[in-house]
Structure 1
């Protein structure tokens, strides 16, 4: 899952970026509203953490422009002002949730997990597909109750597929959602990761849809090659 952090406080931004990366997210950072608007308008994020007090272009203006342009990714707004009117303005502009500074990073992570789950149509923090369970809260995977060890990138890829069960996901889409903006992306490695995950899971869940990508579905009978 890929997240944009739009925050001008250098120390706070660094803490959030580090915390999200430790939790398995691919993370990009913008320090002003203009940069945040550009990234959010051109990159495919699964969620955005948006400070309302950004320089150059304030957070409310950024959010309004995103929504006017049809950008629908979940947005969690941050505000240092404990004002009900600002929270209302942010929600009316298109925000999905808010956190008032100061806050605990654990709360931000929990709210992000919930926003991403709901956007994909999932209510529980545990995603289930056939005998496989993925715990979004603790970044763990089980098959029939037995733990499966995945590398960080394998988990990111599998988590994205689990959030989008039943959908055909292209290699390009997977590449865009598991790597940071400044990472040297190579979509050819996706097939390698998929094959590794298949072997580790030991169950027939990830199916290749010829010429299109992959679909996670325990009932699907597509060719796995």
Structure 2
């Protein structure tokens, strides 16, 4: 399967070089020459990785990355920039980038990093979306179909894990690790916490969102 990548870069010579190289490596790459166009493409399409220049016309890379994360976009971002100070890198990570590559760079290194990032989703996203649920990690709020829910700290950790994996199944072991790390309690504790989570999510709604998948674990249903 071809890996879809978005390149947002205003240096046309560099962009053409990257486009040709990535396409020879079997990577299908869209290109935007300014930040606003890059944001539009990122919102309209699904990409495995976004290659993002920092200094862009119409919207800089930091702002673009922040906008994506605030909207719940979890596509991994590799920031490409000539700025190499620690403060510049910290600013990039604070904005939501997942990796940082300083110009000039080797094309083979770009390829290695793109393929590595494509194997996961970004952990930098500030808003998680799953089914009719919306979790705002900054405001510490969860909404279901626009209704604000009261979620306990332990239920929050379970729900965040389920939402980050949505729509995939999450194993019992992963949920236990989210709650207790390596200090596992007795075998019935997870069942109690899942019951509490279901109560908090489903109160006032006709359908339940947390589904048990026998022999595998648990997942969120794509349900109203």
- TM-score (normalised: structure 2): 0.53
- 1:97 aligns with 99
Could you say which structure has the greater relative contact order, defined with CA pairs below 8 angstroms and 6 or more residues apart? 1
Q: Between 54-63 and 82-91, report the one with greater CA deviation.
A: 82-91
- 2:11 aligns with 9
CA distance in 1, matches of 2:14, 2:5: 16
- Mind listing any 5+ residue stretches in structure 1 that lack a counterpart? 121-165, 168-225
How far has the Cα of 1:117 moved from its partner? 1.8
Helix, strand or coil: the match of 1:81? coil
- TM-score (normalised: structure 1): 0.52
CA distance in 1, matches of 2:47, 2:30: 9
Helix, strand or coil: the match of 2:50? strand
How far has the Cα of 1:81 moved from its partner? 1.4
How far has the Cα of 1:20 moved from its partner? 0.7
5 Å-filtered alignment, 1:60-209, equals: 60-119=62-121
Deviations 1:28-53 (A, max 9, x none): 00000000011111110110000011
CA distance in 1, matches of 2:120, 2:6: 18
Supply the RMSD in Å over aligned alpha carbons: 1.6
- 1:42 aligns with 44
On the 8 A contact 2:62/2:92 being kept in 1, the answer is yes
CA distance in 2, matches of 1:87, 1:79: 10
Q: Which segments of structure 1 move beyond 3 Å, counting only runs of 4 or more?
A: none
How far has the Cα of 1:118 moved from its partner? 3.4
How far has the Cα of 1:119 moved from its partner? 3.5
- 1:202 aligns with none
